[in-house]
Amino acid sequence: MTWFKYYKDISSVNYSTPPVKRFIKKFTPKDTLQKGTWLFVDITGLNINKKLSSDLQYIDDEDSYIVVYEDPKNADDYTPVKTVIINNRIYFQTAEDHQSNIATNKNYSIYYMAPGIRFLQKTEVNGLTKYYLTTQQNSITYSAADEVSDFLYRVSLSSSSYYNISFINSNLNWNKGVTNVANSKAYIILSGPYFELEYFKSSDGGRFLLEFEPLDRNYQVSLARKKYIIDSYSIDNEPTLSKFIVQDLSQIDYRVTLTVLNEGNSKSANNYVRINGYSFVYNFYGYIEKEILRDDVSTIQIGASSAVSAVIGSSSGDTIVNNTYQSVSERDMKIRYWMEVM
């Protein structure tokens, strides 16, 4: 089992909590993802943004977790990435380019419940790379200016990837995303839960219909199907960019059918529909695997008691110092807070 090593200065040697670890399941992206693309996984029910107080109570600590991209076979090969937690999701950026239809060769992992672990630093000591914690903030922290739009994956009209806009009869009905021909259609592929369509409003703007249906026909269509009519008329003669937003899609892949309607706004001079592109929150359908408990712990210290108990399964001489635990039968609950003293 591989854990990255870290060193930390603490005010008292009598209280320290190491990180808990969870792998994020490896994935095969449907599209090529550039370094820095935002992904997310659900963390409902997990205390990832909390730490343990000296009396082992959970308290809020936004700096008590970190996501790293690591090679499980090499404890010195890992890269911290930017992260933020919003609405029971942990958003994190990709550490390198990931090619479409190729499985990731390393693991994204979450380490959490360790005070200040987001401030991870690296240094060279006698030719060896060491990782340690400081009180100085660095680039791995992130504050979202907007709760969703910061994390959007944008698709342009010229995209040839898995996620794209397909204009039907593009040479006849459409010209670079523009048409005034009724019943002209386009198809959009995206993943829920958030979607933004960029289109232009103008004095000659028409109306169009968006129909959302799940790509997986085995999914309960009634739960995911949505329809919207968008009116692109405005009093402005020059087209102005606008956005249509849907925030409550299911977390599945959708095919969206765009259909130009026969009847436009009665005030409109024509029936033009102008599409500029779209964005969505990229869902790589990852999930967090089971919590990994350390099985190579040498010594821990929690509290100020001198009571000593043997560690189950440890080698001779390994001990824990603890003023809270009454019995080694609690090991399955408590071992997650143990640390190796470096």
Question: What percentage of the chain carries pLDDT values higher than 90?
Answer: 42
In the block, tokens 């010195």 appear at: 76
Higher pLDDT, 339 or 254: 254
The predicted structure's pLDDT at residue 47: 80
Angle at 118 between CA 117 and CA 120, to 5 degrees: 75
The three-state secondary structure class of 228 is: strand
Closest CA to 197 of 227, 236, 241: 241
Higher pLDDT, 172 or 220: 172
Q: Are strands 299-302 and 319-322 parallel, antiparallel or unpaired?
A: parallel
The three-state secondary structure class of 119 is: helix
Arithmetic mean of pLDDT, 135-154: 73
The predicted structure's pLDDT at residue 191: 92
102 CB burial (10 A radius; 0-12, 13-18, 19+): exposed
Higher pLDDT, 10 or 109: 109
As given in the structure block, the two tokens for residue 46 are 């997990």
- Distant-in-sequence, close-in-space partners of 301: CB < 8 Å, separation ≥ 6: 13, 14, 15, 16, 321, 341
| Residue 193 scores a pLDDT above 70 | yes
pLDDT digit string, tens, across residues 217-246: 777 666 668 999 999 999 999 999 999 999
| Residue 305 scores a pLDDT above 80 | no
Arithmetic mean of pLDDT, 269-293: 91
Alpha-carbon dihedral sign for residues 319, 324, 330, 336: negative
- Delimit the CATH 2.60.120.260 region(s) of the chain: 152-281
pLDDT digit string, tens, across residues 7-28: 443 333 334 455 778 899 999 9
Start-end of H helices in 143-283: 221-224
- Distant-in-sequence, close-in-space partners of 148: CB < 8 Å, separation ≥ 6: 194, 247, 281
Closest CA to 273 of 264, 282, 281: 264
- Distant-in-sequence, close-in-space partners of 17: CB < 8 Å, separation ≥ 6: 51, 52, 113, 114, 115, 302, 337, 339
The predicted structure's pLDDT at residue 293: 57
Mean pLDDT of the chain: 76
Arithmetic mean of pLDDT, 31-57: 85
pLDDT-derived band at 43, boundaries 50, 70, 90: very high
CATH fold for domain 152-281: Jelly Rolls (2.60.120)
pLDDT digit string, tens, across residues 65-84: 888 888 878 766 778 888 98
As given in the structure block, the two tokens for residue 84 are 């933020």
